[in-house]
Amino acid sequence: MQTAPHPVTAAEAVPVPRPQAARPRNAGLPLDLDWVAGVQANTSAIERRAATLPGRRSVKKDHQAAWLCKAISLIDLTTLSGDDTPGRVRRLCAKARQPVRGDILAALGMEGLTTAAVCVYHEMVETAVRALEGTDIPVAAVSTGFPAGLSPFRLRLAEIGESVAAGAREIDIVISRRHVLTGDWRALYDEMAQMRAACGEAHVKAILATGELGTLRNVARASLVCMMAGADFIKTSTGKEGVNATLPVSLAMVRAIRAYEERTGIRVGYKPAGGIAKARDALVYLALMRDELGLPWCQPDLFRFGASSLLGDIERQLEHHLTGRYSAASRHPAG
């Protein structure tokens, strides 16, 4: 059933401090294969609903600026390149501390706004942790043989432990896609549960690599199994697949989150990643979360954008809001 749109207010969009530590984590539950087998996904209906989302809600002026500031507070500012250097990561962390030029933040009354986290490879975790000292911005590390997840399992678990020891407070793990494609839900559950245990106190985001799972039904079932195994977040993509975050995939995943919360009372977060580069896209995803799951899922403890270029476009839109002019992208460097 299509959810009716709600009026959007600027007050709802004001970023709030991340209450992650206060919210109970997802402890998981025993694998329920009957529940998994009963999960279906009406692809045509999901695609029809997704097609309506970009045009269903239009926010303008102060309301739009407020929601764009909200979007900034939800970004996992990311660099996952083979040519990453400590200098690049330090610049990215400086951008996370002050994601928008100071004059723009002051004019908007948004001094102190930061991104939700900084996401890097394990090799750069210590550099990022040092660069973010004195803030509450966590470092997230991609792990478990990212992006393919095909290294030996013992090494994938060891990688998690190394990143946690280096100071990562969030771990983005990748699942073994073959378990989904062959319907081996027990293997996926056991793998996810062991990865969750290896994370200890660090929050774990399970990357499904949805572009490689074949069907929306597989996406929905994999989402449910990962939540049963204790994932704190489920995430669409590594950003390295041919197809990354899409609105149909997002609908399938957030509805799995809703079903899990309705049955268990536990709220699990959602992170679309890959291909979200424009401010207007961020607004559509926020509208989706608000309509499908409610305002609690518009806070950084339950929703993140995995992005690198999104922030630059949002900053340009905010400057346009204040001045009426679009500036060159070079005026808003990523770091």
In SS3 terms, 155-179 reads as HHHHHHHHHHHCCCCEEEEECCHHH
Q: Which of 70, 95, 205, 271 is catalytic?
A: 271
Task: Give CA–CA dist 97/106, Å, rounded.
Answer: 15
Task: Give CA–CA dist 267/205, Å, rounded.
Answer: 13
| Distances 16 to 77, 113, 246, 270 between C-alpha atoms, Å | 18, 9, 27, 18
Yes or no: say if 303 and 74 are a contact pair by the CB < 8 Å rule: yes
User: Any catalytic annotation for residue 271?
Assistant: yes
Residue indicated by tokens 């149909």: 248
| Distances 123 to 76, 95, 207, 237, 248 between C-alpha atoms, Å | 17, 20, 20, 21, 34
For residue 324 the two structure tokens come to: 């009426």
User: Any catalytic annotation for residue 235?
Assistant: yes
Q: Which of 95, 235, 291, 301 is catalytic?
A: 235
* Radius of gyration of the chain measured on its C-alpha atoms: 19
Residue 47, number of CB atoms within 10 A of its CB: 14
Element (H, E) at 301: none
User: Any idea what the Cα angle at residue 217 is, between residues 304 and 288, rounded to 5°?
Assistant: 35
Q: Which of 76, 172, 232, 291 is catalytic?
A: 172
Burial of 91 (0-12, 13-18, 19+ CB in 10 A): middle
Indicate which residues carry an active-site annotation. 172, 235, 271
